[in-house]
Amino acid sequence: MYKHIKFFEELSITDVPSVGGKNASLGEMYRNLAPKGVHLPNGAATTSESYNYFLEQTGLRQKITDILEGLDVKDVDELRVRGAQIRKAIMKAELPQDFQEEIRRAYRELGEKCGNPNLVVAVRSSATAEDLPNASFAGQQDTYLNISGEENVLHATKQCIASLFNDRAIVYRDENKFDHMKVALSVGIQQMVAVRSESAGIMFTIDTESGFKNAVVITSIYGIGENIVQGRVSPDEFTVFKPTLAILKKKLGTKKEKMVPGPNSTTKNIRVTHADQDRYSITDDQVRTLAQWGLEIEKHYGKPMDIEWALDEDDGQLYIVQARPETVQSRSNRNVIEEYQLKETGKQITKGSSVGSKIGAGPASKIMNLKDIAKFKEGDVLVTTMTDPDWVPIMKRASAIVTDKGGRTCHAAIVSRELGIPCVVGTGDATEKIASKSRITVDCSPGDEGYVYDGQLAFDVNTTDIHDLKRPQTKIMMNIGSPDHAFHYSMIPNDGVGLAREEFIIDSHIKIHPLALLRFDEVKDRHVRAEIQDLTKGYDDKAEYFVDKLAEGVSIIGAAFYPNDVIIRFSDFKSNEYANLIGGTQFEPEENNPMIGWRGASRYYSEDYKEAFALECRAIKKVRDEMGITNIKAMVPFCRDLDEARKVLHIMEENGLKRGENGFEAYVMIEIPSNVILAEQFAELFDGFSIGSNDLTQLTLGVDRDNHTVSHVYNENNPAVLELIKHVVAIAHKTGTKIGLCGQAPSDYPAFARFLVETGIDSISLAPDTVVKTTMDLHDLEISLGRSQQ
């Protein structure tokens, strides 16, 4: 029997007051999730009672109280001195003999259970408050890795206890009004399964930037996982869709270093080879296994979780080594939508991974060492190599944070999220390019990438309260461009996506003309060839790069709005726009008026382009059939006549997209007068119509909408345009064909949106920033028209 020790199999989440949140959670999972196939290392924990016993037996309680008396935590120098005094006193004190003996005995017993008498362990801190059992002290105390031998375990145990009084922990308790002497510490002694870790990382069962709940985000590096939190290494990043475990997105990190065991229970960092840097640190199957375990853990706890994992080099097995509730996105107010938008432009200094979606600006304060943090002023932008928990006091005063190193799960990113501060991590060169005291703007609003601009630029913050938003019967859908914003926009009340343009994905994420990939050997320009080689690194078949990247973008949009309909429009670049893609000039004709030239359907069946269109079909098929995101529908743009429609549908079938198979539906754009005139015949070929009011206006009125000379004639509210819309809506109702409108007009003109409702149109697709206002407007209109409400 033990008085001071509890093994994981004895613990549950109800033991937080005795062993703290971290150790209670490890015991809870070991007891409940290991039987379900989740791999978890065994361990034992000292109790909070044994911590208090240690303080009482050694007289440390009074000594610590005296040292802390009158401390002003804002006095950084005084804080440093007093914290060091306490830690020194703890390390000098002897653990009571019975406490020591139980730690030794527990370590030996744990070695027997794990089949290794010289067991290597991680010694972890787990703090709790006597009168506040739910208090969280995550990240405040220290962890010691690669510890073996009874004496080393005893020493690391005392180091953990001493870390309860490191500077950051003292500040944290002071700011949160915790009595220092009512907080106790449990020490976890956990089998270190990844002594020579192949790779390790962090997993969140919620998207850390948007709060989107249907995603698992996994980061991974080589070696022991400590480098990922410290921000020393930019990790690989994977986003997994919960309903189907499809990997939506993969991002290769630099992973230049890895932490490995050193001599005498130490660790050290060594360089990673270029070959290993250029490959992912875990396989797709391992990503899916981790995601499945993340779902099991989330289900068990009933809330989004923040989980640490490791891949053991010896047995090749994945293990969960820690889990705690996610505390930022899961607690945010989903009834308020906040959008940041720059009002002016500036010179870009650097870029990296964005954390959050805010904008911050101020004087750059370049802090390269902890000893210089006293120089930091309220409202400065913190620019540094990387941060650790000792930097939190100045991070709280920053208007934004920029780091050279780190990924979205490093310390700087985690703290920035908690504080609601915009942060750009992993720039690689911020401390080199940003001058101290210069005024800069940090913009995290564009999506995955965040940018740092020269100068303090003006920006707007738009806030919308969607609590109890009343919805009209008319479906309100969205027009979505970049997949980077899809998770964020999905939080706005909506009925799906009426138009997602492939052009945005091709232009921003693929960047290369599809024929330059399919016919790479024919590309003549050596600079273009070099650019394509660089972008398609890792792809022997360069066409697969196009399929994979397009499928990634489409799948993210589909997943964000799942299970609502998401209508993906096949590429509708004009020839001059295709020519602007890398390698495009060699494969594109010069047209005098590309707006009404070789675009849309006429490309797809052309002998000069149909092999490129086949790549688009393959990407859609991959998303629907392989990734299981079956709410995706495909839409054909600029289809001039019925013969074109049949040809395109035939090519789609040849490439695996057949109407009715696996629930697949094909839509057509109604944007040419011929589409309206022949609407009944088009309805026999397609499952749905989407009115493109921009082109329909252009071709009804005979106006080139790119020509400013006649722009005054262009008017979507023209009676002729409205008559065509009214007519095609009536035909759609007659034939039982779904019909919506995805042009710009209802976003710009409330009267146009009201006109559409009066026609009885099924859905209206809007720019995201107009969805809430139009939803309220149309709800009121439907009431005035006497329609019953949802």
pLDDT tops 70 at residue 131 = no
Residue 563: asked if its preceding bond is cis (omega within 30°), the reply is yes
Among the ranges given (36-45, 129-138, 559-568), the one the predictor scored with the smallest mean pLDDT: 129-138
Query: In angstroms, rounded to a whole number, what is the distance separating the alpha carbons of residues 417 and 137?
Result: 16
User: Counting Cβ atoms within 10 Å, is residue 490 exposed (0-12), middle (13-18) or buried (19+)?
Assistant: buried
Check residue 678 and give left, alpha or beta (phi > 0: left; psi -120 to 50: alpha).
Answer: alpha
Burial 625-650 (b: 16+ CB within 10 A, else e): eebbbbbbbbbbbbbeeeebbebbbe
Coil, strand, or helix at residue 424? strand
Taken in order 579, 584, 590, 596, is the CA torsion positive or negative? negative
Give the chain's mean pLDDT. Answer: 91
pLDDT tops 50 at residue 640 = yes
For residue 788, the model assigns a pLDDT of 56
**Helix-then-strand count for the chain, H and E:** 29, 30
Q: Tell me the pairing of strands 688-691 and 215-222.
A: unpaired
Amino acid at residue number 378:
E
For residue 164, the model assigns a pLDDT of 93
**Per the structure block, which two tokens stand in for 259?**
């932490």
For residues 469 and 449, the answer to whether their CB atoms sit within 8 Å is no
Mean pLDDT of 399-409: 89
485 is catalytic: no
**Per the structure block, which two tokens stand in for 508?**
């921003």
Nearest to 671 by CA among 484, 549, 499: 499
For residue 136, the model assigns a pLDDT of 52
Write down the catalytic residue from 411, 485, 488, 779: 411
For residues 517 and 543, the answer to whether their CB atoms sit within 8 Å is yes
Taken in order 41, 46, 47, 52, is the CA torsion positive or negative? negative
Amino acid at residue number 599:
R
Query: In angstroms, rounded to a whole number, what is the distance separating the alpha carbons of residues 242 and 337?
Result: 24
Mean pLDDT of 566-570: 98
Check residue 265 and give left, alpha or beta (phi > 0: left; psi -120 to 50: alpha).
Answer: left
Q: What is the pLDDT of residues 615-632, one digit of tens each?
A: 999 999 999 999 999 999
Amino acid at residue number 170:
I
For residue 789, the model assigns a pLDDT of 55
Mean pLDDT of 107-114: 94
Query: In angstroms, rounded to a whole number, what is the distance separating the alpha carbons of residues 586 and 480?
Result: 30
The pair phi, psi for residue 444, each rounded to 5°, is -105, 10
Residue-by-residue DSSP string for 588-601: ----S-GGGSS-TH
Nearest to 323 by CA among 281, 287, 295: 295
pLDDT above 70 coverage of the chain, percent: 98
Stretch (H or E) spanning 145? strand 143-148
Q: Which residues pair with 449 in a beta bridge?
A: 353
**Per the structure block, which two tokens stand in for 219?**
């980061």
For residue 446, the model assigns a pLDDT of 85
Q: Give Cα separations from 461 to 328, 339, 357, 419 (angstroms).
A: 20, 6, 11, 17
User: In this structure, what DSSP letter does residue 9 have?
Assistant: G
pLDDT tops 90 at residue 272 = yes
Residue with the bigger pLDDT between 165 and 338: it is 165
Listed in sequence order, the DSSP H helices in 660-705 are 673-677, 679-685, 693-701
Query: Residue 203 — very low, low, confident or very high, per pLDDT cuts 50/70/90?
Result: very high
Query: In angstroms, rounded to a whole number, what is the distance separating the alpha carbons of residues 460 and 738?
Result: 38
Among the ranges given (20-24, 54-58, 132-136, 493-497), the one the predictor scored with the smallest mean pLDDT: 132-136
411 is catalytic: yes
Tally Cβ neighbours within 10 Å of residue 585.
15
Residue with the bigger pLDDT between 93 and 177: it is 93
Coil, strand, or helix at residue 47? coil
Q: Which residues pair with 566 in a beta bridge?
A: 497, 632
Q: What is the pLDDT of residues 344-381, one digit of tens each?
A: 989 999 999 998 889 999 999 999 987 888 889 999 99
Query: In angstroms, rounded to a whole number, what is the distance separating the alpha carbons of residues 559 and 660?
Result: 21
Rounded to 10 degrees, the C-alpha dihedral 132/134/135/137 comes to 140
Q: Give Cα separations from 57 to 28, 99, 552 (angstroms).
A: 31, 11, 61
Write down the catalytic residue from 410, 423, 617, 742: 742
Find the length of the chain.
Answer: 790
Taken in order 601, 509, 538, 284, is the CA torsion positive or negative? negative
Q: Which residues pair with 738 in a beta bridge?
A: 688
pLDDT tops 70 at residue 291 = yes
Mean pLDDT of 63-84: 90
Which of 64-68, 256-260, 314-318, 711-715 is predicted most confidently?
64-68
User: In this structure, what DSSP letter does residue 509 have?
Assistant: I
Coil, strand, or helix at residue 15? helix
For residue 133, the model assigns a pLDDT of 47
Rg (CA), the chain: 30
What number of CA atoms fall less than 13 Å from residue 363's CA on the CB side?
10
Query: In angstroms, rounded to a whole number, what is the distance separating the alpha carbons of residues 453 and 361?
Result: 9
The pair phi, psi for residue 780, each rounded to 5°, is -65, -40
Nearest to 719 by CA among 741, 697, 695: 697
Q: Tell me the pairing of strands 336-342 and 459-465.
A: antiparallel
Query: In angstroms, rounded to a whole number, what is the distance separating the alpha carbons of residues 214 and 487?
Result: 9
For residue 132, the model assigns a pLDDT of 46
For residues 404 and 427, the answer to whether their CB atoms sit within 8 Å is yes
Mean pLDDT of 300-307: 94
Q: What is the pLDDT of residues 96-108, one digit of tens each?
A: 999 999 999 999 9
Query: In angstroms, rounded to a whole number, what is the distance separating the alpha carbons of residues 731 and 725?
Result: 10
